[in-house]
Amino acid sequence: MPLIVQPHTSEFVAKHPATGDDNFGTEKKPVYGKFTVAGVNSPEFYDALEVLMKGEGQKDEEFGRKSLAGCIVNWEASTFYVNDAGEPITYSAKAAEDLVTDKNNYWLVNQLRQYVETSANFF
């Protein structure tokens, strides 16, 4: 019997923390927070852990958020995540780390963590 291979990535769509809706904009101008993420059983996650384990003096929360950032492999550039000038921030490993370590994004971190820890999302 062949082994079932788990895909490495899946699309995660953020939900508004108050409404549960995935549209953060309006009906006429929708805004979605779409991320391509790797699960906790992926090489991307283990690579992020390996790098983080070499660091010293990190708090558990910081370690958890940075390992979560390693699971974000891309996102759709939109007005969901913008800089101070209102321009969309394109994906980079540094931008992902900035996103998940910003304490204002706790609600998004919680959603991302729950999603990447659920293996069923990657089959």
Of 102, 71, 58, 68, whose CA–CA distance to 84 is shortest? 102
Angle 67-58-119 (CA atoms, 0-180°, nearest 5)? 20
The 10s digit of each residue's pLDDT in 48-94 is 666 656 655 556 566 677 788 888 999 987 778 888 888 899 999 99
| The pLDDT value given to residue 117 | 84
Half-sphere exposure for 3 (CA within 13 Å, toward CB): 3
Q: Using CA atoms, how far apart are residues 33 and 15, in angstroms rounded to an integer?
A: 8
| The pLDDT value given to residue 30 | 87
Q: Give this prediction's pTM.
A: 0.79
The order of strands in the sheet holding 72-75 is: 9-13, 34-38, 72-75
